[in-house]
């Protein structure tokens, strides 16, 4: 079967660092995505990992370990505007590259 | 480039009615995917259309259907609406080649069924 797990909610302090984890079990893995979704808005693309390792993009970094079925999104120097839901999605090669989505992690930033 | 547009943005219907939602992808994008989003459920995949053909389908009942036109615009239809169909319906477009991966989402249509 296929399953994607993320924590439901996390809280962090402005200026700090937070790591949001995503674990998955799926066949035909062909990449993992992270999207950000502010309340009442559409999701927007943050990162894509298909090979093991860390991809850094400004304050955001994403890590992938295919052997462990594990990814994390690392947010540094947190700002109040980072309060949002963070969605993890896995692309499957054996389903015409369909995306399978996790339920999302709601991140609350406190001053 | 203009982004993905969806119409209408808000809709209120009663049980038993049917509804049609529209999505216009980014120019040049040939794939359109539809999702249902409810609080706590995340994005639930409905279906994907590519070049006017349904390429993937999620686990939704037959009341949910869709189509894509030659200009890549897509519509989804829900017949015999139920209270549980109240949700945000999002469409996303992409180039849909194996080397292209990013989906661009529209603002969504918020459907309320009373």
Does the pLDDT value for residue B100 go beyond 70? no
Percentage of residues in chain B with pLDDT exceeding 90? 74
**Chain A partners within 8 Å of B93 (Cβ):** none
Does the pLDDT value for residue B7 go beyond 90? yes
Residue A98: in which H helix or E strand, if any? Answer: strand A98-101
Give the mean pLDDT of A98-109: 91
Tell me the residue length of chain A: 111
**DSSP annotation of A96:** T
Query: Quick check: helix, strand or coil at residue A93?
Result: helix
Q: How far is CA B103 from CA A18, A19, B37, B60, B76, in A?
A: 25, 24, 16, 21, 18
Residue of A nearest to B37 (CA): A103
**DSSP annotation of B72:** S
pLDDT band at A99 (very low <50, low <70, confident <90, very high): confident
Does the pLDDT value for residue B111 go beyond 70? yes
B57-98 confidence digits (pLDDT tens): 888 999 999 999 999 999 999 999 999 999 999 999 988 655
**Chain A partners within 8 Å of B105 (Cβ):** 42-44
Rounded distance between C-alpha atoms, residue B72 and residue B24, angstroms = 7
Does the pLDDT value for residue B99 go beyond 60? no
Does the pLDDT value for residue B42 go beyond 90? no
Q: How is residue B106 written in tokens?
A: 């529209």
Q: Looking at CA atoms only, how far is residue B1 from chain A in angstroms?
A: 16
Rounded distance between C-alpha atoms, residue B27 and residue B92, angstroms = 13
Rounded distance between C-alpha atoms, residue A32 and residue A71, angstroms = 8
Does the pLDDT value for residue A3 go beyond 90? no
Percentage of residues in chain B with pLDDT exceeding 70? 93
Q: Cβ separation of A42 and B41 shorter than 8 Å?
A: no
A22-71 confidence digits (pLDDT tens): 999 988 888 999 999 999 889 999 999 999 999 999 999 999 999 999 99
Contacts of A34 (CB under 8 A, 6+ apart): A22, A46, A47, A48, A62, A71, A73, A86, A87, A88, A89
User: Which residues pair with residue A91 across a beta bridge?
Assistant: A99
Q: Cβ separation of A31 and B101 shorter than 8 Å?
A: yes
Best mutation target among A7, A98, A106 (most B Cβ atoms within 10 Å) is A98
pLDDT band at B39 (very low <50, low <70, confident <90, very high): confident
């Amino acid at each position: 079967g296929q399953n994607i797990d993320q924590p439901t909610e996390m809280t962090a302090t402005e200026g700090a660092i937070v790591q949001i984890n995503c674990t998955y079990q799926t066949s035909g893995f062909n990449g993992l995505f992270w999207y950000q979704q502010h309340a009442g808005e559409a999701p927007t693309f943050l990162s894509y990992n298909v090979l093991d390792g860390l991809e850094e993009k400004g304050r955001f970094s994403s890590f992938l370990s295919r052997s462990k079925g594990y990814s994390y999104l690392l947010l540094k120097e947190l700002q109040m505007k980072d309060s949002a839901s963070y969605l993890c999605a896995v692309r499957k090669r054996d389903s015409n590259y369909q995306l399978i989505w996790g339920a999302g992690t709601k991140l609350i930033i406190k001053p | 480039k203009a982004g993905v547009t969806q119409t209408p943005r808000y809709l209120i219907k009663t049980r038993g009615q049917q509804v049609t939602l529209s999505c216009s992808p980014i120019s040049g994008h040939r794939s359109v995917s539809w999702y249902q989003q409810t609080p706590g459920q995340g994005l639930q995949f409905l279906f994907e259309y590519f070049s006017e053909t349904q390429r993937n389908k999620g686990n939704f009942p037959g009341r949910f259907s869709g189509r894509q036109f030659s200009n890549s615009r897509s519509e989804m239809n829900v017949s015999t609406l139920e209270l549980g169909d109240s949700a945000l319906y999002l469409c996303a477009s992409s180039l849909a080649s194996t080397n292209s991966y990013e989906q661009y989402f529209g603002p969504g249509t918020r459907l309320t069924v009373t």
